[in-house]
Amino acid sequence: MPPPPRPLTRKKSTSLKTPAPAGRISLAERAGTYKKPTVPPPGTISRVPSAAARARPSSSLEMGRPPSVTGAGFPRPPSAQSMTDDRDDEAGVGVNMPKRKDWDVKGKLMDHENALQEFREMYARDREEAKKANEKLEELIRKEYTWETNRREMDTTITQTKYELDLARKRIAELEKTLEEERAGRRKEHEEATRRLRDETDELRRRHRDELDKVRKTYSEESAMLERKLKMEIMDEKAARSREAAELKAQAAMERQRLEMQMDGSGREARTLKMELEARNGDLERERKAANELRDRIAEHNTQSLTMESTTRALKLRIEELENMGKNQLNSYAELEEQLRQANAKTHTVEEKLRNEEIIRRKLHNQVQELKGNIRVFCRVRPTLQHEHDSAAQINFPDHNMEGKEIEVIGTPEKSAMGNIVNKTHPFSFDKVFGPSQQNAEIFEEISQLVQSALDGYNVCIFCYGQTGSGKTYTMSSSDGMIPRAVHQIYATAQSLSDKGWSYTMSGNFVEVYNETINDLLGSPSDLDKKKHDIRHDPKTLTTTITDVETVILDTPDKVTTILNHAQKTRSVAATAANERSSRSHSVFILKLVGVNRHTGQRSEGTLNLVDLAGSERLSHSMATGERLKETQSINKSLSCLGDVIAALGSGKEGAHIPYRNSKLTYLLQYSLGGNSKCLMFVMVSPMMAHLAESLTSLKFATKVNNTSIGTAKKVIKMGRAQDD
């Protein structure tokens, strides 16, 4: 809102004091209707508006104030007017009002009212302008605010982009560095190979040159020597012949002289001399022949020298050939390098593919396991043993040739409501039923998938439940039982996974839970029932450790036999004549598998627990006393606790209390029974009639477990790319 107009004050101004009437600016002029004469009348001073007056229109707009009325050319309010009327009237200065007589009060009043009206209109116009200016200003402020917001957003985007750019630059620099190192390595290798090749070529060339030089030297030395010798021989021969010829000539001349003197002497002497001359001529002829022979020999040497020259040429050609071979070798080296690079790239791609396939396999494997359910129940009926002479119960396997999931136990004869004697049929169905003829190998085939899950980072628990003598130990710990087979499979799989970057360490513990205390089956037999061991859980890593127990690193699969034998020995020491220790305690084989992937940095920790439970036969408390009573109580307690834990897990209530702590066995297996695990229970059945009641009890318990479903398993993966890939 513009402020109210300020009270009009009178301000002394030069223009007001100027007596020249021509210097006044009338209201008409202020309103823009007045036209100033272009030429002032002679003797008047033309009036220039003061600086304040020149600046006023814009400043009043900016400030949103009504225009100031001080200064020349602005009307004065009547109040101010009244104070100065006399003086102004006398001086003739002020607003452009007609001069009135003193008595014309009405006229004067009218003039003042006109002036006031004009002022009001002007003030209203100015106010309107101020209002518009204000709106404009507000709009500008709004725009400025929008621009400021945009600018801030842009600043943030720029900072973000700069940060990302820096990161990208750093990454590029790192990559460039790696590339440069790679290049330098390759260059070095290439230079090294080139240098070696060059050295070899140089060496070859040098050897050839030396040989050639040697041949040339020998040849030139020999030919020079031969030439010298021949020349000397020829010269000697020539000299000798010339000497001889000269002597002969001289002799002939002397002889001729003598003969001429004796010409007339006897003709006989003349003939003799002639003959001598002929003999000399014959000698000369022979000498000539020898000279010819020498010439032939020289020609022969020349031929030899030509042959040597052609050999030299052939050697030169050979050198050129070797040089070309060197060049070709260089080219083929480059080709080989290219091939090597391509092969490396291919290997890299294949390795990457393998890793991805392994991830997919794990995912699919887990999905299959989840679909099958995280707690499964298998049933196994052992065969009748040779020494068993009692009658066998009737057990049928209705879908034996199909899915193999059903078992029917025919009960003892009972009297029906109608009074008939009937044999009741007890049908059961499980995830899998194995008959007496099925071997450990077939059984392991079915559980091998679970064993694989332990390698993939899950906690897996396989336990055998059943009465004494039903075949639990045979299934679990015999030489071809589940424990040795699992260890062998894990070892083989770990080996094959090493191609995909995984390396595993396997460590084993073997403990028993006897009378609610833990014993180390790998420790000294003398420590059994004496040394105290505690169970420690780590809720962060979902791992369990037992204090003071022997841990065996299974770096070879055969070590498992040593472990089993040791455990067997320890237990047999503790066994008494009356009681087999294995029937009265639970044994737990704990295999910890820690895998690290050197490519992806993933780390998986899985545990495979293979549990051979104590005999489940219902032991009557009344029949037992002392130590036997204690055993009975603890076995009954731990087995019923196991049932309670499974039932609580199967109730599916979120956050429901699971009574793991109620027994040592369930507490030990806490992380392998809950939602984070995969569980398999074998219910073992004896085929004997005498054991029928116990067999039915076991099968009923197993049915309860079979109807339980435990939540989705999660594997323990640390530092991985994904928590559950």
Ligand X SMILES: Nc1ncnc2c1ncn2[C@@H]1O[C@H](COP(=O)(O)OP(=O)(O)OP(=O)(O)O)[C@@H](O)[C@H]1O
| Residue placing its CB nearer to ligand X in the complex, 222 or 580 | 580
**Smallest distance from ligand X to CB 350, Å:** 44
Residue 470 binds to ligand X (criterion: CB under 6 A): yes
**Smallest distance from ligand X to CB 428, Å:** 19
Q: How far apart are the first and last CA of the chain?
A: 68
Max CA separation in the chain (angstroms): 213
Phi and psi (nearest 5°) for 533? Answer: -130, 135
Map the footprint of ligand X across residues 203-242, applying CB under 6 A.
none
**Smallest distance from ligand X to CB 454, Å:** 23
Report the distance separating Cα 478 and Cα 475, nearest Å: 6
For residue 469, which of 695, 628, 704 has the smallest C-alpha distance? 695
Phi and psi (nearest 5°) for 75? Answer: -70, 155
The gap from C-alpha 204 to its chain's centroid, in whole angstroms, comes to 49
| Residue placing its CB nearer to ligand X in the complex, 669 or 684 | 684
Phi and psi (nearest 5°) for 375? Answer: -130, 125
Residue 397 binds to ligand X (criterion: CB under 6 A): no
Report the distance separating Cα 7 and Cα 24, nearest Å: 22
**Structure tokens, 287:** 């000498």
Among 385, 422, 573, 722, interactor with ligand X by CB under 6 A: 385
Residue type for 25, please? I
Report the distance separating Cα 281 and Cα 108, nearest Å: 184
Which span sits near ligand X by CB under 6 A: 464-472, 482-490, 603-611, 649-657? 464-472
**What are the E-state strand segments in 391-528?**
394-396, 406-415, 421-429, 432-434, 459-466, 502-514, 517-520
Which span sits near ligand X by CB under 6 A: 161-169, 181-189, 472-480, 715-723? 472-480
Is 544 labeled as ligand-binding?
A: no
Per-residue binder mask for ligand X (CB under 6 A), 581-600, x = binder? -xx-----------------
| Residue placing its CB nearer to ligand X in the complex, 266 or 437 | 437
Is 159 labeled as ligand-binding?
A: no
Q: How many residues bind ligand X (CB under 6 A)?
A: 16
- Under 8 Å between Cβ of 466 and 685: yes
List the 406-415 sheet strands across, edge first. 394-396, 406-415, 421-429
Map the footprint of ligand X across residues 614-633, applying CB under 6 A.
615
Is 473 labeled as ligand-binding?
A: yes
- Under 8 Å between Cβ of 405 and 399: yes
Residue 474 binds to ligand X (criterion: CB under 6 A): yes
Map the footprint of ligand X across residues 551-580, applying CB under 6 A.
580
| Residue placing its CB nearer to ligand X in the complex, 112 or 432 | 432
| Residue placing its CB nearer to ligand X in the complex, 108 or 472 | 472
For residue 711, which of 666, 669, 668, 679 has the smallest C-alpha distance? 679
**Smallest distance from ligand X to CB 464, Å:** 7
**Cβ count within 10 A of residue 395:** 19
| Residue placing its CB nearer to ligand X in the complex, 67 or 466 | 466
Among 466, 484, 501, 508, interactor with ligand X by CB under 6 A: 466
Pairing of strands 677-685, 459-466: parallel
Torsion over CA: 216, 221, 222, 223 (sign):
positive
Is 570 labeled as ligand-binding?
A: no
Beta-carbon contacts of residue 634 (< 8 Å; ≥ 6 apart): 514, 515, 516
Residue 404 binds to ligand X (criterion: CB under 6 A): no
Is 470 labeled as ligand-binding?
A: yes
| Residue placing its CB nearer to ligand X in the complex, 459 or 468 | 468
Which span sits near ligand X by CB under 6 A: 68-76, 185-193, 470-478, 593-601? 470-478
| Residue placing its CB nearer to ligand X in the complex, 473 or 519 | 473
Pairing of strands 603-612, 717-718: antiparallel
**Smallest distance from ligand X to CB 481, Å:** 9
Closest-by-Cβ residue to ligand X is 471
The CA-atom distances, in angstroms, between 658 and each of 90, 217, 411, 441, 710 are: 115, 105, 35, 35, 12
Among 366, 374, 459, 468, interactor with ligand X by CB under 6 A: 468
Residue 432 binds to ligand X (criterion: CB under 6 A): no
**Structure tokens, 345:** 């790239």
**Smallest distance from ligand X to CB 416, Å:** 34
**Structure tokens, 424:** 């009741």
Beta-carbon contacts of residue 703 (< 8 Å; ≥ 6 apart): 377, 428, 430
Exposure string (b/e) for 560-570, b if CB count within 10 Å is 16 or more? beebbebbbeb
Residue 469 binds to ligand X (criterion: CB under 6 A): yes
Among 432, 472, 485, 571, interactor with ligand X by CB under 6 A: 472
Residue 481 binds to ligand X (criterion: CB under 6 A): no
Is 468 labeled as ligand-binding?
A: yes
Map the footprint of ligand X across residues 672-701, applying CB under 6 A.
684
| Residue placing its CB nearer to ligand X in the complex, 473 or 672 | 473
Which span sits near ligand X by CB under 6 A: 198-206, 461-469, 541-549, 656-664? 461-469
Among 81, 473, 493, 544, interactor with ligand X by CB under 6 A: 473
**Structure tokens, 91:** 């001086």
Known binding residues for ATP: 466-473
Known binding residues: 466-473
Contact residues for ligand X, defined by CB under 6 A:
382-383, 385, 466, 468-474, 580, 582-583, 615, 684
